[in-house]
């Protein structure tokens, strides 16, 4: 198998964790006879500083021509001016739109050895295996028009939450297809008691659900979903929702695993390369200290092997190596350990 992978290390701890994910992919290629070509480009704040834009046209073009894109994180305090016209996050949004990746998959599981690091009681974490499917290219983050003005001496800002039927249909359909190979339950999260966009979401979800008689569909309001994620997280199988709700709920769900550094994500479209990244941010407070947890990035590389390169066996072996490294007591600081970012990478690669 030959594959072209674009690496966008980004900002903060992004370069540190993506470096370990690349090492793991290189180890997989060497062990199983594959050939992966890695192309590194800039995104986010580092791209603003060196190229004057958070995502250059050349970088986007290279990503579009690749088999997969591996991303670190974007942002940091030096670019965190709310008045700035150019911001690191614009690069991330532009990349998602440019690649057409409309569905963000975020698996949430709890490693038995790390149960004590979750704020929830152990009995609530038994059996937790959630797949969150977040719509990624619509909603508030992409709605138009949006703007800011001064009216009658008062500042005023407008963001529009907008969805079309086909945008909802394709992500909900994917959630049902994924549920068929799991526990055959879909929870569709909305705010249909208040928002017109959520009422459309619920209507479309019902229509899609009729095509999957073997999968049960539950509608749940977002505030109730947030409560159930901490009171009964094992009750969820596949959870599908719109962009902003998904962003917030998956960050909440990360506490189940004990650290945001543990969780990966895959962003997929109907065709073209997938986008893979850990769910955590750039963590500027620990950047450059060699203490960031690379597990989320490494598990994102496993998803890359599975969904973009169609290498299910190596993907499972990477996930197994991560689990065995943790079983054997290997920990970074966020999960009460002393290993450096590279040492954690070493422990996982050793177990491949």
Instruction: Examine the residue annotation and report whether 307 is marked as an active-site residue of this protein.
Output: no
Catalytic residue among 166, 223, 285, 327: 223
Estimate the share of the chain in helix, then strand, then coil, as percent rounded to the nearest 5.
45, 20, 35
Catalytic residue among 173, 247, 276, 334: 247
Instruction: Examine the residue annotation and report whether 328 is marked as an active-site residue of this protein.
Output: no
**In DSSP terms, which residues pair with 155 in a beta bridge?**
150
Query: How many residues make up the chain in this entry?
Result: 352
Catalytic residue among 97, 159, 228, 251: 251
Catalytic residue among 67, 141, 163, 237: 141
- Name the E strands within the chain: 2-10, 35-40, 68-73, 103-109, 129-135, 147-151, 154-158, 185-190, 216-221, 238-241, 266-268, 274-276
Number of Cβ within a 10 Å radius of residue 310: 11
Burial of 38 (0-12, 13-18, 19+ CB in 10 A): middle
Q: For residue 76, which of 8, 6, 10, 7 has the smallest C-alpha distance?
A: 10
Instruction: Examine the residue annotation and report whether 141 is marked as an active-site residue of this protein.
Output: yes
CA gap 313, 214 in Å, rounded:
28
Catalytic residue among 173, 191, 237, 334: 191
The residue behind tokens 């996050």 is: 89
- Residue 176 and residue 208 in contact, taking contact as beta carbons nearer than 8 Å: yes
Q: How far is CA 104 from CA 107, 266, 300, 342, in A?
A: 10, 6, 12, 27
Q: 339: helix, coil or strand?
A: strand
CA gap 54, 59 in Å, rounded:
10
**In DSSP terms, which residues pair with 145 in a beta bridge?**
none
Q: 286: helix, coil or strand?
A: coil
Q: For residue 309, which of 29, 21, 14, 24 has the smallest C-alpha distance?
A: 29
Q: Which residues are catalytic?
A: 141, 191, 223, 247, 251
């Amino acid at each position: 198998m030959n594959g072209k992978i674009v690496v966008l290390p980004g900002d903060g701890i992004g370069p540190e964790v993506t470096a370990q994910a690349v090492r793991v992919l290189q180890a997989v290629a060497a062990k199983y006879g594959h050939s992966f070509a890695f192309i590194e480009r800039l995104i986010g704040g580092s791209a603003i500083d060196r190229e004057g834009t958070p995502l250059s046209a050349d970088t986007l073009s290279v990503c579009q021509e690749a088999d997969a894109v591996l991303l670190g994180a974007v942002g940091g305090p030096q670019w965190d001016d709310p008045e700035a016209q150019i911001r690191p996050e614009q690069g991330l949004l532009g990349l998602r739109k440019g690649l057409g990746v409309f569905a963000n998959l975020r698996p949430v599981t709890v490693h038995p050895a790390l149960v004590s690091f979750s704020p929830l009681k152990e009995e609530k974490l038994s059996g937790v295996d959630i797949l969150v499917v977040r719509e990624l290219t619509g909603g508030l983050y992409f709605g138009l028009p949006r703007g800011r003005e001064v009216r009658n001496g008062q500042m005023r800002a407008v963001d529009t939450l907008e969805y079309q039927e086909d945008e909802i249909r394709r992500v909900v359909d994917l959630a049902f297809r994924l549920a068929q190979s799991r526990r055959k339950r879909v929870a569709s999260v909305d705010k249909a008691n208040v928002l017109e966009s959520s009422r459309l979401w619920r209507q479309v979800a019902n229509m899609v659900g009729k095509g999957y008689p073997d999968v049960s569909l539950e509608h749940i309001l977002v505030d109730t979903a947030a409560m159930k994620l901490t009171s009964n997280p094992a009750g969820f199988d596949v959870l599908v929702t719109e962009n902003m709700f998904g962003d917030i709920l998956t960050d909440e769900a990360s506490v189940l695993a004990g650290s945001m550094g543990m969780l990966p994500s895959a962003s997929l479209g109907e065709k073209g390369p997938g986008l893979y990244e850990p769910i955590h941010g750039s963590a500027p407070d620990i950047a450059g200290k060699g203490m960031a947890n690379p597990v989320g990035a490494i598990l994102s590389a496993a998803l890359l092997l599975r969904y973009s390169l169609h290498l299910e066996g190596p993907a499972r072996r990477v996930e197994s190596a991560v689990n065995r490294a943790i079983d054997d007591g290997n920990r970074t600081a966020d999960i009460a350990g002393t290993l450096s970012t590279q040492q954690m990478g070493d422990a996982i690669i050793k177990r491949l």
